[in-house]
Chains A and B, each alone.
Chain A
């Protein structure tokens, strides 16, 4: 009888044993890497190039963009047969949600797409590798990157990211729509007065319900940042505090209120509904608005979906009595701090930004290339839409400045601005009330 009961022990012990073995090493905070990466453990530390390694690469984009990233990853794999690039991608909003969760779980991909508005958060939490040593020893060659672009990739003097592309945001319009409405194209360098006049002119010419002159930009934080700089202030000061006062917010919201009263911007419900859809489902592609605001490097993307007419760029309206407000934006690549193959990751980044074939595939996906040599390489390959993009970016780069690094809490302020703008749009609060409430709440967030 004792033997029978003892026999029962065997399957239980073996099962517990198997469970323990497979989850071994997951006790400490950084979780074991995803299955494909497990083989890397045996290859770390002075292993020959023959050992198989895999690096995870994550980026954001839409369908067309994914094709390019995949093509470049394929190219790298062909050149380095022992490296496998495991790819992850999603839309811009989903990407950051997922990245946050992965980072928290110690599971951040090796190479990640990074953005200036998020880098401060990630850098602050020490989740990005310092690439300085790789730049110094030549693994990442930044010699053909203009100093300004190299600076843009630094946080507190440490190189944390490398530019995939440099771009700026402005306004864009569809020539076909303007022709149909019989309105002259706006001037590239237009002032706020020109802006309002043109929008009102457009609205008068629009006869259909459900078509508007321009998108409602009142809740968009980068627009507010440029507006602040034109008034000689900053939304987020270098010390991380709120740099605007109530009068600035009232002035900002009043512009959009004027347009709202003229019915030149979509109603609050429409704006809200379209705020989270993908590029090809948006108001501009559906010809429901004549003017939209997005980064210049997306012009070719939009042109893909717009068959009638050309998508052309405009600077943000400037204040002739004020300062230049625009600042350099772009997309970058970074290496996570918990990456098990930082050198391979750095090598891949170098390939991505410097390899001629890769440059020819990527072209202006995220704006003008970081490398000036690269920009020369791709010049003969640009489509008309892409040429317009480069022109716009190069022109604007002449007058653009650098934005101070966003503070912690900038995400909360971004959401606050959208909600405040919505509250005005839906008529729930007056401009005065909303401006005061925004200042109060933003100050509270930034002072925490």
Chain B
């Protein structure tokens, strides 16, 4: 009681200043999240009142082949797109770090896709590029290869989306570049004097000292990849692609909520996604102790 009074006395002005933001936090974030958690246990078609059904949505989810399919598609996407992105980001960052002329220009060029890559316009363009008579097929035709319809064939549709995601490696690359610049040069010099070749230098100096940055990029990219929606929606026309091969988790959530009016189910899906991302992130943090090296 004593400390509470003192706390209020010392801090009430500060809280007063952030009242607008607090109102936003409670009204636009906390309350909707709480309500959505409530909805996850109800059956709610938007027009009539929510009906409590307990774990009904969650049970239905695990028996729903489209649900498990969407989980599969999303996992497939995350497990391929994220490592590829990071690989390209690191490779290009290493190249740019060699101190070439026009570094700023190259950095900008590689960074720009990540700025608007997730937009509707680019997704529409992507659809055209990889369509039956798209640019890619025209180029292949020049080489004498008969291209197929990349975005409308079940086997390849997802890979066009993975390609789109990988193309946006720029933001991770910029962060890697910053990390590379932080590595002290004398480390490399002493290693060279000791006779270490390029690969040994990379494996024993660059990589270990980059692990904090790598960890950061990994976590951010994974969280982002789990939430991918716009490209899947646009490229597949909102349908989830040929034979549900691009039915991302978030896309299925959208269909369930806004096309089929099953908001309770959609809310349940949303919370499942949140928990999954939380679990994955905590696992990453837990294992990070073994491979991330923070130099103090």
Residue numbers of A with Cβ under 8 A of B are 5, 8-9, 12, 15-16, 19, 93, 97, 100-101, 103-104, 125-127, 210, 267-273, 275-276, 411-412, 418-419, 422-423, 426, 428
Contact = CB atoms under 8 A, between A and B. Distances in A.
A269 B242 contact: yes
11 contacts: A8-B16, A16-B19, A97-B258, A101-B258, A125-B47, A125-B48, A269-B149, A270-B132, A270-B149, A422-B242, A423-B243
A103 B47 contact: yes
A209 to B, nearest CB: 9
Interface string B2-24: 00000000000100100110010
Contacts of A125: 45, 47-48
Nearest to B241: A272
Nearest to A272: B152
Contacts of B259: 97, 100, 411
B19 A275 contact: no
Contacts of B47: 103-104, 125-127
Contacts of B206: none
Interface in B233-269: 237-239, 242-244, 258-261
A305 to B, nearest CB: 18
B244 A273 contact: no
B132 A273 contact: yes
A15 B154 contact: no
Contacts of B132: 210, 269-270, 273
B144 to A, nearest CB: 15
A268 B16 contact: no
Given A15-B20, A275-B237, A428-B154, A268 B242 contact: yes
Contacts of A422: 242-243
A315 B153 CA distance: 33
Nearest to A409: B260
Contacts of A15: 20
B264 to A, nearest CB: 13
B151 interface: yes
A423 B13 CA distance: 64
Contacts of A100: 258-259, 261
Interface string B145-162: 000110111100000000
B19 A273 contact: no
Contacts of B20: 15
B260 A411 contact: yes
A275 B47 CA distance: 30
Given A8-B13, A101-B258, A272-B152, A426 B19 contact: no
Contacts of B238: 93, 97, 276
Contacts of B260: 411-412
B154 A426 contact: yes
B117 interface: no
Given A8-B16, A269-B242, 10 more contacts: A16-B23, A125-B45, A125-B47, A269-B149, A270-B149, A273-B131, A273-B151, A275-B237, A411-B260, A428-B154
A124 to B, nearest CB: 8
Contacts of B48: 125
B53 interface: no
Contacts of B154: 426, 428
A98 to B, nearest CB: 10
Nearest to B244: A419
B46 interface: yes
Closest 6 CB pairs of A and B: A276-B237, A269-B149, A104-B46, A269-B152, A125-B47, A273-B152
A269 B152 CA distance: 5
B242 A426 contact: yes
A180 B260 CA distance: 45
A434 B260 CA distance: 23
Contacts of A19: 23
B245 to A, nearest CB: 10
A178 to B, nearest CB: 24
B252 to A, nearest CB: 12
Contacts of A269: 132, 148-149, 152-153, 242
B98 to A, nearest CB: 43
Most buried by B among A5, A269, A271: A269
Contacts of A126: 47
Interface string B110-154: 000000000000000000000111000000000000001101111
Contacts of B45: 125
